[in-house]
Amino acid sequence: MCLSIPSKVVSIDEDKQMCTVDTMGVSRDASLAMMAEGDVKIGDFVLIHIGFVMNKISAEEAEASLETYREIIAMMDEEELRRTIEEDDSCVDRT
């Protein structure tokens, strides 16, 4: 299963329909091709799936989700965390 962690938009390249997001301290690029032009702004929280921004969420929803992720991460050992990160980087729908 692939879970989308809320990510904060830190920059936008409108010409390429791409943005850079911060996902719990990790910088990633994501496509804005699935969103309406101008819908996503710097500072917005978004959910990403297979490299595409799929939707925006409120800052309140993002913070609640991020707090839950932080609690989960705090319970993981180093090997579990490494495997989780590797699986996230290659996330595909396995259902």
User: Which of 72, 70, 67, 28 is CA-nearest to residue 47?
Assistant: 28
User: Which of 7, 81, 86 is CA-nearest to residue 43?
Assistant: 7
The reported pLDDT for the residue numbered 1 is 46
What's the token pair of residue 39? 């819908």
The reported pLDDT for the residue numbered 17 is 96
User: Which of 63, 39, 65, 67 is CA-nearest to residue 53?
Assistant: 39
Does residue 65 carry a pLDDT above 90? yes
3-state secondary structure 62-74: HHHHHHHHHHHHH
pTM for this structure? 0.80
* Full set of structural domains in the chain with CATH: 7-88 (2.30.30.140)
Q: What is the mean pLDDT of the chain?
A: 87
Does residue 51 carry a pLDDT above 50? yes
**CB count in 10 Å sphere of residue 16:** 11
